[in-house]
Amino acid sequence: MAKREAPEINAGSMADIAFLLLIFFLVTTTMDQDTAYLRKIPKKVETETPPSPTQDKDIYKIAINSNNIIQARDSIINPEDITSLNGRIKHFYLANRGKKTNRDIHYPYYAYGSVALYQSNMDEQITRLNNLLSIENPDENTLKRITQAQGAIDQWRAKLEMAKMYSKYSGKREMPEIAFQAHIRLESFNDTDYSAYIAVQSEIEKAITELRNKEAEDLFGVTYTTMNNQYQQQITENTPEIRMIRERMDLIETLFPLKLIEVKPRR
Amino acid sequence: MAKFRKSSGGAPPAINTSSLPDIVFMLLFFFMVATTTKEIDPMVKITNAQGAGVTDLTPFKQRSEVDFVYLGEPIQGDKDRFYKGVAVQYDGLLPADGINYIGVWKQDKFKTKPAEFTAPKENVITCFKADERVPMGIIFSARSILQDLDFNSIAYSAQEMGNLNTYNIHTK
């Protein structure tokens, strides 16, 4: 029997099927992306300990009242001039950076750490730990001191690694670190508009990101934003490249920390 | 003149539509790639606040690490039913006690997350999608409820304003 040719399938309704799918996706999806400012709420504290006193020079206070008028330190800023906040916040961070004398007493001071300093601090803690461990029959107090010393060693080790990385890439021996109490304090009223609050958050974010981007560009030749995007996309993969990006981001975040305290409104 | 004689009558030739499916498929794939699935239908009116340097939440959404809370005037019904005229929408729900329901909702949501979801409690983001006129007092009440329950990550939703550089702040 002669082989019969297979009849061609009619593809005329293929377009209809594709249209149906297309319309389904058009209806069930949205174009707009969800974008937001990520923030942390501080952990709740079990025991009421009075907060350690912070000097005025270390606080950058921004308050927004119920008429959406902004007060940044001593200046009143109208909503239309809000973009000036960017420069003000940058100045708060940079006023004393790199200065050891002639510091402006109204802005946070910087500490200058070096590899040698952190190394000696760590060695000191290691000696302390060894002394504590050599005590026979340790009592409760000693055990507490041992965990304390171990924590301190970890802290200095992390600092040491950062200082090494900083001097490797910048060629400088000393790493400038802003006073750890330095922070931005954002106060609002019960009737402050969400948009005004977001505008201030935006200005803070912009100032910090610009500072970080510049620093990252100088050190690694890549902006902080680029590194962060890459990190967020691949956070679940534990590759050496991602670990390296995380370390670099940690260094930049230590150099320019975003410490923002959002105060619960009282009025 | 035989050359220009009309070809013998009949219907005009049919247009070839065999490439139509290809074109439509191309459109389909474009929309599949460029859009994200809609979470829910909004029940509150939201005009987004503007901001610069916002973080894209898409990677967090893909890992289902983010829960959205919508705040604004209700589209249907009387707005005076709600505290300060701001209704709070949780998934498909507009509870009468507004923001105070957030604790119950968050805990339910955390318990019903799929097994492969491993992020700890304090890393699950609560994203506030609020209308630009929502008073901050409401959001701070939510913050203190979340703080008590150890949900420590939040996000303030805002639209990237690009180079426009205009915040839409209303002076009262």
Sort residue B119 into left (φ over 0), alpha (ψ -120 to 50) or beta: beta
Region A84-105: mean pLDDT is 86
- Residue A258 above 70 pLDDT? yes
How much of chain A exceeds pLDDT 70, in percent?
97
Contacting residues of A for B14, CB less than 8 Å apart: none
Residues 134-153 of chain B whose Cβ lies under 8 A from any Cβ of chain A: 134-137, 139-140, 143-144, 146-148, 150-153
Higher per-residue confidence, A17 vs A31:
A17
E-assigned strands of chain B?
36-37, 44-45, 50-51, 55-56, 66-74, 87-90, 125-130, 153-157, 159-160
Q: Which of A15, A19, A79 sits opposite B171 (nearest CB)?
A: A79
Q: Helix, strand or coil for residue A174?
A: strand
Chain A nearest CA to B161, separation (Å): 10
Contacting residues of B for A264, CB less than 8 Å apart: 140, 143-144
Q: What is the pLDDT of residues A100-128, one digit of tens each?
A: 878 888 888 888 888 888 888 888 888 88
Residue pairs between chains A and B whose CB atoms are closer than 8 Å: 204
Contact A18, B25 (CB under 8 A): yes
Chain A nearest CA to B164, separation (Å): 12
Mutate to test the interface with B, among A24, A29, A32, A35 (most CBs of B within 10 A): A35
Q: How confident is the model at residue A28 (pLDDT cuts 50, 70, 90)?
A: confident
Q: What is the token pair recorded at B163?
A: 């180079």
Query: How far is B172 from B170, CA to CA, in rounded Å?
Result: 6
Chain B nearest CA to A183, separation (Å): 19
Region A72-100: mean pLDDT is 87
Q: Helix, strand or coil for residue A134?
A: coil
User: CA of A203: which chain B residue's CA is closest?
Assistant: B52
Sign of CA dihedral A87, A93, A97, A103: positive
Predicted local distance difference test score (pLDDT) of residue A165: 87
Region A33-60: mean pLDDT is 81
What does the pLDDT profile of chain B (172 residues) look like in tens digits? Answer: 556 666 566 788 888 878 888 888 898 888 888 887 776 778 888 888 888 888 888 778 777 788 889 998 888 877 777 888 888 888 888 888 888 888 888 888 888 887 777 778 888 889 999 888 888 889 999 999 998 888 989 999 988 887 666 777 777 6
Region A154-176: mean pLDDT is 86
Chain B nearest CA to A71, separation (Å): 15
Please, what's the b/e burial string for B66-96 (b: 16 or more CB within 10 A of its CB; e: otherwise)? Answer: bbbbbbbbbeeeebeebbeebbbbbeeebbe
User: CA of A68: which chain B residue's CA is closest?
Assistant: B171
Contacting residues of A for B71, CB less than 8 Å apart: 194
Predicted local distance difference test score (pLDDT) of residue B106: 87
Q: Which of B119, B1, B27, B21 is nearest to B65 (CA)?
A: B119
The residue type at B119: A
φ/ψ of B45, rounded to 5, equals -80, 125
Give the C-alpha distances (Å, rounded to integers) separating B111 from A74, B126, B146: 47, 15, 15
Q: What is the token pair recorded at B68?
A: 């959205």
Q: Which helix (H) or strand (E) holds A118?
A: helix A115-133
Q: Is B167 on the interface with A (CB under 8 A)?
A: yes
DSSP B19: T
Verify whether the Cβ–Cβ distance A21 to B68 is below 8 Å. Answer: no
Predicted local distance difference test score (pLDDT) of residue A208: 92
Who contacts B107 (Cβ-Cβ below 8 Å, separation ≥6)?
B149
User: CA of A14: which chain B residue's CA is closest?
Assistant: B21
Q: Which of A78, A232, A265 sits opposite B59 (nearest CB)?
A: A232
- Residue A244 above 80 pLDDT? yes
Contacting residues of B for A262, CB less than 8 Å apart: 140, 143
Q: Which helix (H) or strand (E) holds A107?
A: none
Q: Which of B13, B33, B32, B39 is nearest to B157 (CA)?
A: B39
Contacting residues of B for A201, CB less than 8 Å apart: 51, 156, 158
Mutate to test the interface with B, among A193, A194, A233 (most CBs of B within 10 A): A194
Verify whether the Cβ–Cβ distance A82 to B52 is below 8 Å. Answer: no
Contact A257, A178 (CB under 8 A): yes
CB atoms closer than 10 angstroms to residue A87: 11
Sign of CA dihedral B86, B88, B94, B98: negative
Q: In terms of pTM, does the model score above 0.90?
A: no
Contacting residues of B for A197, CB less than 8 Å apart: 136, 156
Contact A10, B12 (CB under 8 A): no
Query: How far is B128 from A37, CA to CA, in rounded Å?
Result: 10
